[in-house]
Amino acid sequence: MAVSFDLTEDQLELQKWVHEFAADVVRPAAHEYDEREAFPWEVLQEAAKIGLYSLDFFATQWFDESGLGIPLTMEELFWGDAGIGLAIVGTTLAAASVRANGTDEQVGQWIPAMFGTETEPKVAAFCSSEPDAGSDVGAMRTRAVYDEKTDEWVLTGTKTWATNGGIADIHVVTAVVDPELKARGHASFVVPPGTKGISQGQKFLKHGIRASHTAEVVLDECRIPGDCLLGGREKLEERLARAREGVQSGRTQPSMATFERTRPAVGAQAVGVARAAYDYALEYAGQRVQFGRPIIENQAVAFLLADMRTSIDAARLLVWRAAWMARNGQQFTAAEGSMSKLVAGETAVRVTEKAMQILGGNGYTRDYPVERMARDAKIYTIFEGTSEIQRLVIARTISGVHVR
Ligand SMILES: Cc1cc2nc3c(=O)[nH]c(=O)nc-3n(C[C@H](O)[C@H](O)[C@H](O)COP(=O)(O)OP(=O)(O)OC[C@H]3O[C@@H](n4cnc5c(N)ncnc54)[C@H](O)[C@@H]3O)c2cc1C
């Protein structure tokens, strides 16, 4: 599909619909859930009721030919609130892993189950990070051992930082099947609802996105059926055999494949947070009077707003380009997906900090939302690959050098 900066009627309608939900339902609930640091089940139920939290909705956006369906949704929802936004879209990270690594049968079986129903929504978690394996995915220790006798996989290890970890019905877990092959000896598994041996460890108390649940997930000889290996046994054996022979498969390990697919979407979330703070500061600067005139009449304030808006628009363009490239099968020859997440994440941090400055003392209190937005923004330079890791990926891709 040819690129165009004119949104279609359908896209404008989508943007308006998600924005209304963000403004009417998400934003009014944001302060309370941030203070309580609790998962917003009530808001998720509202989202499920109108079809926003549903496989149908996300599938429609995934298959939007322009690739913009997901970025438009993310930006509007996270404009409402990033913590609640992540509570609503966290499941899609697990779904993306099943899409990237599962067979058609597994996609059909597990992805619909992750969302639950309109009246009883469920969530899913993607568990890759471990205490000693954050940026360094290759250091993963969680083991998956196949038990021929029972046709089961036995998972043992501790996952950390899992969004929805422990409150999810379905957990997607990456684990080591062949330690000698390091990162090429990993595989992904679905842990079905009600499985014994999986439990929530510590729930993290966070700086921001506090409505989103983040926890450790402990796997204690957790037995799952053989067909819960994503992609199936035959494909895994072929992949491992190629890796043992040292043949390049051209594929990255499962968790990396998932991160590549999701980076522009995460960038769009950061754009939403930045825009929320910018919108608030712009209005505030027009109303707040000091020295007998609105503070926006001072260049020092107006130029801050000019820079904020310019950097938000620049970040959005990188996000849209990467999302369009992903949907249209373009080669990421300069790691454009990572670029979009890097710029959007750092823009969110800078813009929210400037918004606090424009609000003065009010910006520093929890009575005004920009303080929460600034706390929320910081996650975008950390998760889904830190800013340093994005730079590493970009540097290696553009140079062909194994930059360290
Ligand atoms: C709120 C939250 C939600 C999360 N959700 C999930 C989830 O759902 N599923 C999941 O699997 N994970 C999740 N994560 C984990 C997240 O992806 C990791 O925190 C992130 O990848 C960084 O890993 P780390 O925290 O271990 O930091 P480390 O890897 O220890 O990094 C520490 C610092 O060192 C830097 N650094 C490390 N290596 C290099 C290098 N080679 N070159 C330069 N700098 C380097 C980093 O950039 C960083 O600044 C989440 C994290 C948080 C905080």
Residues with a CB atom less than 6 Å from ligand 1: 93, 126-129, 134-135, 161-163, 206, 209, 214, 379, 382-386, 388-389, 392
Pocket probe mutation, ligand 1, options 91, 97, 127, 135, max atoms within 8 Å of Cβ: 135
Q: Which of 358, 334, 360 is nearest to 279 (CA)?
A: 358
State yes or no: is 384 an active-site residue: yes
CA–centroid distance, residue 18 to ligand 1 (Å): 30
CA–centroid distance, residue 140 to ligand 1 (Å): 13
pLDDT of residue 2: 67
- Residue tagged active-site, from 76, 336, 346, 384: 384
Of all atoms in ligand 1, which is nearest to the CA of residue 131? 26
* DSSP sequence for 79-119: HH-HHHHHHHHTHHHHHHHHHHHS-HHHHHHHHHHHHB-SS
Pocket probe mutation, ligand 1, options 140, 386, 393, max atoms within 8 Å of Cβ: 386
CA–centroid distance, residue 318 to ligand 1 (Å): 23
pLDDT of residue 218: 98
CB atoms within 10 A of CB 392: 18
pLDDT of residue 38: 97
**Are 70 and 265 contacting, i.e. CB atoms less than 8 angstroms apart?**
yes
**Angle 336-363/254-287 helices, nearest 10 degrees?**
30
CA–centroid distance, residue 86 to ligand 1 (Å): 17
* DSSP sequence for 345-402: HHHHHHHHHHHHHHHHHHHTSTTSHHHHHHHHHGGGGTSSS-HHHHHHHHHHHHH-S-
pTM value? 0.96
pLDDT of residue 248: 56
**Are 319 and 267 contacting, i.e. CB atoms less than 8 angstroms apart?**
yes
Render each residue's pLDDT in the chain as its tens digit; 404 residues: 566 789 999 999 999 999 999 999 999 999 999 999 999 999 999 999 999 999 999 999 999 999 999 999 999 999 999 999 999 999 999 999 999 899 999 999 999 999 999 999 999 999 999 999 999 999 999 999 999 999 999 999 999 999 999 999 999 999 999 999 988 999 999 999 999 999 999 999 999 999 999 999 999 999 999 999 999 999 999 999 999 998 655 555 544 545 667 899 999 999 999 999 999 999 999 999 999 999 999 999 999 999 999 999 999 999 999 999 988 888 888 999 999 999 999 999 999 999 999 999 999 999 999 999 999 999 999 999 999 999 999 999 999 999 99
In order of 130, 201, 370, the CA distances from 219 in angstroms are 12, 10, 39
**Distance between CA 163 and CA 165 in Å, rounded?**
5
Q: Which of 349, 355, 377 is nearest to 368 (CA)?
A: 355
pLDDT of residue 262: 80
CA–centroid distance, residue 24 to ligand 1 (Å): 33
CA–centroid distance, residue 296 to ligand 1 (Å): 38
Question: What backbone phi and psi angles, to 5 degrees, belong to 119?
Answer: -90, -25
Nearest CA to ligand 1 atom 37: 135
pLDDT of residue 260: 66
CA–centroid distance, residue 276 to ligand 1 (Å): 25
Nearest CA to ligand 1 atom 24: 134
Nearest CA to ligand 1 atom 30: 134
Of all atoms in ligand 1, which is nearest to the CA of residue 133? 26
pLDDT of residue 329: 83
Nearest CA to ligand 1 atom 50: 161
Of all atoms in ligand 1, which is nearest to the CA of residue 385? 21
Three-class secondary structure of residue 181 per DSSP = helix
Pocket probe mutation, ligand 1, options 161, 171, 216, 379, max atoms within 8 Å of Cβ: 161
pLDDT of residue 328: 86
**Angle 91-101/254-287 helices, nearest 10 degrees?**
150
- Amino acid symbol at 386: T
